[in-house]
Structure 1
């Protein structure tokens, strides 16, 4: 809200950008995000400077082809030249945690439910043509169950949709 007027980011159905992403974790874990949710570094979430909050985006590591569906619930990054700040978990899934930075492609997938309710998110995803969710294989080879939840984020690793 500026000067008594509300400014609301618009949907950008054709948003498709490539650039450098960083990740944030322990220093912000447990703090409030821009939309009032509590940041969980182990959730599939991200900070974006202009997309609506909350919204869903596909993030692809262009160096290895891994793609994950992520919930945008924060603003950032504030470092020059970066297109996205992702949670530590997103960096792990994309295979870039150890590097700190990743070359990514970010594509807008639509608005996310405002309340982050599990059932609302699953119903929303079930209605989407891109809702092919897949469990990811961890470095140890285990296949964890999908984690759904308001602050736990969304998604699974897939090939590019």
Structure 2
């Protein structure tokens, strides 16, 4: 079928997409990733009945771990033991995704930076201060860039 330039194609309208449902990341070392997202970043790991029914078998087999962010977005970690290691140069991104950002209250930002330093997390850059707030960029165990950011103090 040939498309004509003046043919109106259907689109989604503003508001039809309601929110981010989940984010799925491939990880090479599930234990390191559980520790990073659960213990260091403090996300709640879903267990038992909290696990989405569609993922229960994969979770039981140790192939998926689920976390929930404070705003309700699910973070799915898929264990891919044969995943290529990240580029030794952390400044070379290995995917089209840029980074995953978590928001924090401005008064807690400096404490979060200290937690990253205490755990010897690889920092890409920051903390930076911009008119939109402050941010720090760092890497998870698989080399995916994460940001913790806060709005400017009022």
* Fold shared by both chains (TM-score > 0.5): no
Higher helix share: 2
Q: Report the TM-score when normalising by structure 2.
A: 0.30
**Based on CA coordinates, which of the two structures has the bigger radius of gyration?**
2
TM-score (norm 1): 0.29
